[in-house]
Amino acid sequence: MAQLWHGLGMLTLFDIPLDYPPGFLYFPGFISEKEETSLVETIAALELHTFMFQGYAAKRKTASFGFDYSFKDKHLKKGRPIPETFSWLIEKVARAAQVSPEEVLELLVTEYPPGAVINWHRDAPPFNMVAGISLLSDCSFRLRPHEEKRPLFSFPVERRSLYIMAGEARALWQHSIAPVQQLRYSITLRTVKNSEND
């Protein structure tokens, strides 16, 4: 499997090399065109729902499996089983993330129509590692430290790529996605912290 780690030497607008925060890994071309098509077909058969947050409807739609995080109760609830059709992807991502596939307990599909965003956030506390696969279009991914809200950097996350946020990148940094230009799907895979999984 050809995997390129873009952890070092990212270039900014001014060609100043910047490092991703520790724990952020990027694998361009992680899945093939054929695998992308097959995932898009799998997603087409799912029922996606408008994502609601604190009473507001976001432009994006989601379908969640394995565990659902309730923003109201701030707790994880057991969800629908993850469809078998995603098993190969979970195995492939687990290998890249150096976790066991059994630890990947949550799968979230998100649809971003043109203009949709995801605002600055850290993923919900019960989740541990976060992995994202991008389908159909590239996006502009942004990271900034949680404590210091000034936008720090923005970089392309390409279709068919995988990013992983673990350690510091997951715990101490926020991420967001600028309005997408074209329809984009993402598949987010997450492990769960031990205490939440008893």
Ligand X SMILES: O=C(O)CCC(=O)C(=O)O
43 makes contact with ligand X (CB under 6 A): no
The Cα–Cα gap between 154 and 52 comes to: 26
Q: Considering beta carbons, is residue 38 or 176 the nearer one to Fe ion?
A: 176
Q: Considering beta carbons, is residue 94 or 173 the nearer one to ligand X?
A: 173
Closest by Cα among 160, 149, 28, 26 to 18:
26
Closest by Cα among 142, 131, 149, 139 to 111:
139
132 binds, options Fe ion, ligand X, none, Cβ within 5 to 8 A by partner type:
ligand X
The Cα–Cα gap between 17 and 188 comes to: 28
Choice from 93, 99, 123, 142 touching Fe ion (CB under 5 A): 123
Residue in the shown chain whose Cβ atom is closest to Fe ion: 123
CB 126 within 8 A of CB 110: no
Three-class DSSP category at 50: strand
Choice from 82, 118, 135, 164 touching ligand X (CB under 6 A): 118
135 makes contact with ligand X (CB under 6 A): no
Choice from 108, 109, 162, 180 touching ligand X (CB under 6 A): 108
111 makes contact with Fe ion (CB under 5 A): no
Q: Considering beta carbons, is residue 160 or 175 the nearer one to Fe ion?
A: 175
106 makes contact with Fe ion (CB under 5 A): no
Three-state DSSP string of 69-127: EECCCCEEEECCCCCHHHHHHHHHHHHHHCCCHHHEEEEEEEEECCCCCEEEECCCCCE
Longest dimension (CA), the chain: 48
Q: Which of residues 72-101 bind ligand X (CB under 6 A)?
A: none
36 makes contact with ligand X (CB under 6 A): no
Q: Provide the minimum distance between the beta carbon of 83 and ligand X in the complex, in angstroms, as a whole number.
A: 18
189 makes contact with ligand X (CB under 6 A): no
Amino acid at 95: R
Residue numbers at the binding site for ligand X (CB under 6 A): 108, 110, 118, 123, 132, 175, 177, 186, 188
